[in-house]
């Protein structure tokens, strides 16, 4: 029944949003989970005003013909595209990055028009391997200034997109600009990492990740690491 917002992307400035905006996206795993929420930002980066609902049915409808179950778990802006990360599972282990042309999307949002279905530009699948026989699957991603993106992945023992399962393992990885996995680090202990942000400080990339234990009695963790 819940809205199921799974990803959050920062949009650059565009018409009506001089300081940019945040776009929260539902997973698309069910018909009632195909909406976005747009939150305007002020010059200091704080949210201003009320959120605005954005219908994303054209995207999710097109993706439903590509994947057995749509499950968008990550979103980030990289260059001229908004990238979405499709999370696989034991039933369909395909992970993918879907790129959407950014300019037509921002024009549609500014004009109050439906999101353009034609904006979907390409889909690239990624194989992340397995842990204890359970496939590693995307849980979030963040663009890197040098190109490519950082991501989190979890090997969750479940074969559908909305039922939780035991966490067999997890990892942080880097996908290069050539769409190949450049690095993959398995985490010990096997924390269920579900969100990631990246920023460059001098010549060091700082990754911040958050965890979700699927247990309301266990607090989420905020963890950081630095990569040269």
The CA angle 36-39-43, to the nearest 5 degrees, is: 150
What's the pLDDT band for 51 if we cut at 50, 70, 90? very high
What's the pLDDT band for 203 if we cut at 50, 70, 90? confident
The CA angle 45-47-52, to the nearest 5 degrees, is: 135
Arithmetic mean of pLDDT, 46-53: 94
Domains and CATH numbers, the chain: 5-227 (2.120.10.100)
pLDDT at 118: 60
What whole-number distance in Å separates Cα of residue 155 and Cα of residue 89? 8
Q: Which of 26, 9, 139, 18 is nearest to 81 (CA)?
A: 9
Query: 181-198: per-residue pLDDT in tens?
Result: 999 999 998 899 999 999
What whole-number distance in Å separates Cα of residue 19 and Cα of residue 112? 18
The model's pTM is 0.92
Judged by DSSP in three states, 27 sits in coil
% of the chain residues with pLDDT over 90: 64
Query: 78-100: per-residue pLDDT in tens?
Result: 999 999 999 998 878 899 999 99
Q: Which of 84, 95, 75 is nearest to 171 (CA)?
A: 95
Residues in the chain: 228
């Amino acid at each position: 029944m819940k809205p199921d917002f799974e990803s959050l992307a920062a949009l650059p400035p565009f018409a009506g949003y001089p300081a940019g905006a945040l776009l929260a996206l539902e997973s698309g795993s069910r018909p009632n989970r195909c909406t976005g929420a747009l939150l305007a930002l002020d010059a200091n980066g704080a949210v201003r005003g009320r959120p605005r609902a954005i219908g994303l049915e054209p995207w999710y409808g097109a993706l439903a013909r590509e994947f057995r179950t749509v499950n968008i778990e990550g979103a980030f802006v990289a260059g001229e595209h908004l990238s979405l990360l499709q999370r696989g599972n034991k039933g369909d282990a395909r992970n993918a990055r879907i790129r959407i042309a950014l300019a037509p999307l921002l024009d549609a949002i500014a004009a109050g028009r439906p999101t353009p279905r034609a904006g979907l530009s390409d889909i690239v699948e990624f194989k992340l391997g397995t842990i204890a026989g359970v496939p590693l699957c995307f849980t979030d991603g963040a663009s890197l200034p040098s190109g490519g993106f950082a991501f989190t992945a979890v090997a969750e023992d479940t074969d559908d997109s909305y039922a939780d399962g035991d966490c067999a393992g997890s990892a942080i990885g880097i996908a290069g600009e050539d769409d190949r996995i450049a690095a993959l680090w398995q985490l010990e202990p096997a924390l269920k990492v579900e969100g990631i942000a990246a920023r460059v400080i001098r010549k060091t990339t700082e990754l911040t990740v958050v965890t979700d234990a699927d247990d309301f009695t266990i607090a989420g963790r905020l963890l950081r690491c630095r990569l040269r």
